[in-house]
Amino acid sequence: MTRPAGAQPVGDPAAGTRPLLPLLLVALGAAVGALLRWGLGRHDSPGPEVPWVTLAINAGGCFALAALPAIGAVRRSPHLSVLLGPGLLGGFTTVSTWAEESRGLASEGAPGTAAFYVGLTLASCLTAAVAGRLFARSIVGPLA
């Protein structure tokens, strides 16, 4: 059986390593994103108040992920897309810290603040994602 010219040669050494590259790119991006989140998060006040820094991190990250296709290089490169999307912004934003902050507020005698924080995060992150998508579509047209 003959292969058409230009087809992937059998035993291509790069073929076996290919599924690993996206994982390494996500690991690298997530490490950087988490470091940024950690550096910013230390400015949140420890008291029973709305964790504004986490809220800003999550809402900002939601806008950025939704708007990512606006960058031409991201649309052209799946590797850059994985590095910045599930990698950098996935590691930057967090559900677990938000959930534990909400639980902490409720158990520290501030259930109203906890409910406000839960609702505000949901509303602002969904709004930010809609805004990001609108922004991306205004630049590149309908997204795939």
Partner 1 sequence: MTALLVALGAAVGGPLRYLCAETLDGRWPLGTLVVNAVGSGLAGVFAALSLGGHTWAFAFTGFCGALTSYSAFAVQAVDRGPRLGLAYAAITTGATLALCVGGFALAHELARQA
Q: In the bound complex, what is the minimum distance in angstroms from residue 64's beta carbon to partner 1?
A: 7
CA dihedral sign, ordered 76, 77, 78, 83: negative
Q: In the bound complex, what is the minimum distance in angstroms from residue 13's beta carbon to partner 1?
A: 23
74 or 92, CB closer to partner 1?
92
Give the footprint of partner 1 on residues 25-44 (CB under 8 A): 26-35, 37-38, 41
Instruction: Answer yes or no whether residue 69 interacts with partner 1 by CB under 8 A.
Output: no
Give the footprint of partner 1 on residues 89-128 (CB under 8 A): 89-100, 102-104, 118, 121-122, 125-126, 128
* Cα separation, 40 vs 53, whole angstroms: 7
Instruction: Answer yes or no whether residue 84 interacts with partner 1 by CB under 8 A.
Output: no
Distances (CA, A) of 120 to 44, 52, 74, 117, 125: 17, 10, 30, 5, 8
In DSSP notation, 60-111 reads HHHHHHHHGGGSHHHHH-HHHHHIIIIIIIHHHS-SHHHHHHHHHHHHTT-H
Q: Are 86 and 26 in contact (CB under 8 A)?
A: yes
Q: Which of 70, 74, 105, 129 binds partner 1 (CB under 8 A)?
A: 129
Instruction: Answer yes or no whether residue 137 interacts with partner 1 by CB under 8 A.
Output: no
Binding site for partner 1 (CB under 8 A): 22-24, 26-35, 37-38, 41, 58, 61-62, 64-66, 82, 86-87, 89-100, 102-104, 118, 121-122, 125-126, 128-130, 132-133
